[in-house]
Structure formats: structure tokens, C-alpha cells
Chains A and B, each alone.
Chain A
Amino acid sequence: MSELPVDPAVREGRVPGRSSEEIPELHEVGCPEELRERIEGLMGRYPDRRSASIPALWAVQERYGWCTPEGIRQAAAVMRVTPAYLESVASFYDLLHTSPVGTHRIEVCTNISCWMRGADRLLEAFQEAAGGDDANFYVTGFECLGACDIAPMASIDQRYYGPLEAAEAGVAIDQLRAGQEVLPDKALAKRGLAGDA
């Protein structure tokens, strides 16, 4: 039987757009110097510079709070790929935001082990405590964060906390508002190894 034709994208994945007229020039995008240097540094870490697209988008998000269209154009100009390509990459990943999000990011795990221990209530409690203050807080349910041992848990600004009582959501939000350390007793980093108690 002869082989059916296979779209190269099936084997190789989508290849970045390279048509030069769609790639913005650096001087057109007003890319801040430190962002350009950071992205160039990231590109230098890989045998193929295009591998830096996710790290570059992380850098954009850190700089602007989310992957803004301007930020994406700036990264695209530095990386010499089309903004549409980077946009398509950003939209694939849950942690890269292509629309504005609050300053503090709270991901509450609602997957199996956390669900069994009250994650849905915890998520509600965080949503209530944030009270629609979207500028400061982005609260979302999330898939398993790889910390089912501290279920129910949440990731707050990329740090893990658990096991959390629903009432601790309000405490955490107040601490974030006041610029204090969040739930110090519940930080994953401070836990010992299971069984060593």
C-alpha cells in the first residue's frame, strides 16, 4: 500500500512564520533596552534561537504583566519571527496571558486530589475574598499543580501553599494587599519530607 501524503506540520510541528514583510523591525516597536537584551540572552542559550519563544514570552509577561500585543511585537522583532507566530504560541499555554490579568495571580487546583479535600470551596473563597478586584487579583481554577500532598492547595504568585482551609483565602488576600508575607506556615518550601515528622 502506498503511503498517504502527510502534512509536514504533523511531523515537524508548525514552523514559525518567516516572511520578512510580516516581521516588524526593531526600530518600529520601541522595545525597551533591557527586554531586548534579556531576550537576546535567552536566544543565545539554544542551538536554535527560535527555541527561546516561550522564555521570551515569559519575559514579556514579566515586563508588562501579560503578553500585550506591543510586547509580543517587540519580542517578535528581536527574535525575527512574526508576531502572529508568537501570539499562537502564547495562546497555547495556560500560564501565558493574552489578555490583561491582575497583579497577583492565584491558581487554585481543582483536580482530583484537591477536589476530594474541598478545592471547589477554596476556589469560591478566593473568588469572594478577591471580590472582583480584577486589577489586583487574578483568581482561577487550575489543573493539578503537582502538589497533591498538600491538597487542597493554591499557587499564589508562583509559590505553593497548602493544605488550605477556605478561611485562609481571605487571610492570604489581605496579606497580599498589605504587602506582607503570604501564609508563612503553609508554604510548601517550608515543609519537611513526608514521613519525617
Chain B
Amino acid sequence: MPHRLEKRILLEHAEDPALRTLDGYRRLAGGYATLERAYKEMEQDEVLKRLEESGLRGRGGAGFSMGKKASFLPRGDMAKYLCCNADESEPGAFKDRELMQRNPHQLIEGIALAALAADAGHAFIFIRGEYDEQADILDTAVAEAYEAGYLGTNILGCHRDLELVVHRGAGAYICGEETALLDALEGKRGNPRLKPPFPAVQGLYGGPTLINNVETLSNVPHIVDKGPDWFHQYGTEQSPGTKVVSISGGVRRPGNYEVELGIPTRELIFDIAGGPEDGHEIKAFFPGGSSSPVLTAEEGLDLPYSFEAMAEAGSMLGSGSIIVCDDRVSIPHLALRTARFYHHESCGKCVPCREGTNWTVKMLERMVRGEATPMDLDIVSSVQQNIIGHCLCVLGDSMAMPVGAMVRKFREEFEEVMANPELVLDPHAVVQGAPETLGAQA
């Protein structure tokens, strides 16, 4: 049974392994009925209008209106493309994995409907190479959908075609950035491109391309089926709908939970995910994956979990992934882990990111070793400021924002660690032992 505070729409019936099959999807969720209705009875503009009016915001990080983005694609006979971003590599995010593993057909149906809205004839699911198991599941589901006539040529006799290819990446966070994803899909090294032109105008193979996240597209069948008003029943005015939230770190029940946007963050972390372990308190948390500026417990726990509330608090909802740090976590070490990730994943194309991530790591290493001077804290802060807004893509900012926030909000702890590196909490195993076993099946 889902928690009473959960609201499962995308994950409805997801506990049943049968949902993964075409038969199960049809039987349990009435699957593909919407596709059938839309392909047979609806025009491109009608589908587009529903998506626009729903106010569905992208679930991949930026929160841009999905329908609006789809409407930016030019009309005409040129080849248009749809890419589903299943790269999910931001630390803390694991919701797309769950959606693909448990409900692959919902995604495929969403892609087929979005392709109708964008008039795209070719679609790709770009899935990170590490998700081999999920890619196998998608391969099977795609084959079933072709077999049943929901993909391919002349779909359901409606004179529309859609080819769908599952494309496995090979391990590079930057390929989640939409233009790097396009390069990777074109067979190149995954380096971001200069924007504009935006992919909606000039994307894959130079053609207009709609790029959306797995969760965004998984919402599409529900919206096209039940309409924008139904969708607006859930969530807040600016953040309609539900969100599958990945919660991990120092909580008792880490996992993916689907809730209405706008739920109090405290309920998410305490009631649903069980809160911190006995005898511990929450010190800070990332509200939207490792790229979002950390919020202290005081700042963040009483905010509604919505795009607008997190933005107002100077952070972001991002991909909707909460990483909780309890009182055992050393923030300077956390900053170092965070910076190392972005340093490793920087594609190296532009200087502020390539050099900025490198120097940030070096300085943070000096700090936790007790070799830094007090001035170094200000230098770290100024390096972060010089990265923000000066890079080709936002990977640089994605390090600078959280690291900058940690230095700003926990300056005393940095100073303490710099002065007494040997006093630091065990930076290795901060939360001891394994979490409570969740829903482990017999």
C-alpha cells in the first residue's frame, strides 16, 4: 500500500510486475486507449493544446513548460525528431529508473502522443549505459509496441509513422544536457553545443527536435486522456500535477515516492521517508539533486515542495531529488564530493567550468587536509561566482551553486575543519549500516 500522503498516478499499479508487459499495461491501466483515440480522432493542435493548458513542467531539471516547448517546433514537411532524455545521471536522482523499470509502456505511449503533438516521425530514448537492465526492459516493451501496431509505419491505419529507437549511452553525465545528448546521439563525443539555435529549431541532424525527460513524457498519456482540468486538480497553480520524488541519504526509508507537488517538504522527508535515524537530526538537504543549492533544515523543511517555493528560497526543485544530510555529515567533505563529481564530468569545452571545477576540488582538498589559509574560503567563493553564468552549458553552475551555498551557509564549519582537520567526523561512513530494508520481496 502506498503511504497515505502519496498520490500515485504515474506509479499506479507499479507494484505489480505485470504492468511491465503490454497485456498488463492494457489490463491494469487501460494502456494505449489514449493513443488509439488520439491517433484516430485528434489533430496535432488538439493534443498540443491539452499539453499547453495542463501547465505540465519539465521534470528533467529546468521545469520549462512542456507544451510550450512542443509548440516552438516549426511546422512543415522537414524531418522532426523527439528525444526522450533518460540519461538520469545527476547524483540523487533515480526516479526515471523506477518509471522505466516498472512502467515502460506508459513512457512509450507518452512518446507516441508527444510525437503526434510535435509531428515527429522519429523518436529516441537516450538511456544512460549503466541502466542496462532498464534498457533491456525498454527493448522488450518497444518490440511489443511495434508488434501491436502502436509504433512503426501507418500506426493503427492512421497514415502516421513513428520509429522509436532505444539508444544506450556509455557513461557521461554531460550527455544529459540536451545538446550534448544530441551530439552523443549523432555518434559524437557528448559536448554541449552553443545555444541558440535551440533544439526545437535546429536539433538532431539539424532538424527541429523536442527533448523531454522520462517523467515529463510519462505524464503525457494521462493529460491527453483526462484533460488539463483534471491535471490541475493536483499540485499547485504553478506546479500542477504529481512528482515522483527520489529521497536518499540520511533517512530511514529512502526510495521513490509519488506525491502532489506542493506537499510540505517536512511530510515528504519525515512522514513518508521516515525522517533521520534515531538520535540524529537533519542538518541540511539538497531539494533537487546535487546541482541544487543546499537548504538548511531551518530554511527548507517547512517549504512546500514546489518549483516556485524552492526557487523563492534560492534553490531549485530541479529533477525532484532530495538528498538528506544528517548531523553526522561533514559539510566541507560533502562539498568536496560534490565538486569532484562535476570536475570529473566536466566535458572540458569551456575554461570557467574546466578550470573552475579543477581548482575548486584542489582548494577543498587543501581545506579538509588542514593545509588551507583562511583566505582560501573567499577564493573558493569567488571562483564559484566567476563560474556562474559564464559557461556554455549549466554544468559549471551546477557545481558552483551548491558549493557556493555550502560555503556561505556553513562557513563556520569550514573554518573549524580547516583549523582542526583531525577533529572531523568520520568522513567515510557517516550514516552507519544499511537502511531499513524496503519492500524487499520474498
**Chain A interfacial positions (CB closer than 8 Å to B):** 6, 10-16, 45-48, 50-55, 57-58, 88-89, 92-96, 107, 110-113, 115-118, 120-121, 143-152, 155, 158-160, 163-165, 185, 188-197
**Chain B interfacial positions (CB closer than 8 Å to A):** 1-3, 6, 11, 14-15, 79, 88-94, 96-98, 101-102, 122, 128-133, 165, 167-173, 183-191, 193-194, 205, 246-250, 253-257, 272, 286, 290, 321, 323, 325, 329, 334, 337-338, 341, 344-345, 349, 392, 428-435, 437-441
B429 and A143 within 8 A (CB): no
- Chain B residues, Cβ within 8 Å of A53: 187-188
A158 and B132 within 8 A (CB): yes
Question: Roughly how many angstroms separate A14 CA and B183 CA in the complex, as a whole number?
Answer: 9
26 contacts between A and B (CB under 8 A): A54-B168, A54-B170, A54-B187, A58-B168, A88-B189, A89-B188, A89-B189, A95-B171, A112-B249, A112-B323, A113-B249, A113-B254, A116-B431, A117-B435, A146-B130, A149-B248, A159-B132, A159-B133, A165-B434, A185-B440, A192-B440, A192-B441, A194-B254, A195-B1, A195-B6, A196-B439
A163 and B272 within 8 A (CB): no
- Chain A residues, Cβ within 8 Å of B132: 158-159
Question: Roughly how many angstroms separate A118 CA and B102 CA in the complex, as a whole number?
Answer: 28
Q: Which of B89, B325, B428 contacts A146 (CB 8 A)?
A: B89
B133 and A195 within 8 A (CB): no
B167 and A193 within 8 A (CB): no
Q: Report which residue of A11, A92, A107, A160 has the largest number of chain B beta carbons within 10 angstroms of its beta carbon.
A: A92
- Chain B residues, Cβ within 8 Å of A112: 91-92, 249, 286, 290, 323, 334, 337-338, 341
Question: Roughly how many angstroms separate A12 CA and B189 CA in the complex, as a whole number?
Answer: 11
- Chain B residues, Cβ within 8 Å of A46: 165
A55 and B167 within 8 A (CB): yes
- Chain B residues, Cβ within 8 Å of A116: 249-250, 325, 329, 429-431
A193 and B290 within 8 A (CB): no
- Chain B residues, Cβ within 8 Å of A89: 187-189
Distance (whole angstroms) from the CB of B305 to the closest CB of chain A: 16
Question: Roughly how many angstroms separate A32 CA and B198 CA in the complex, as a whole number?
Answer: 41
* Residue ID in chain B nearest A152 by CB atoms: B434
- Chain A residues, Cβ within 8 Å of B6: 195
B429 and A121 within 8 A (CB): yes
Known contacts A14-B188, A116-B250: A192-B438 contact under CB 8 Å: yes
Question: Roughly how many angstroms separate A58 CA and B130 CA in the complex, as a whole number?
Answer: 12
Q: Which of B170, B187, B437 contacts A94 (CB 8 A)?
A: B170
* Residue ID in chain B nearest A107 by CB atoms: B130
B170 and A13 within 8 A (CB): no
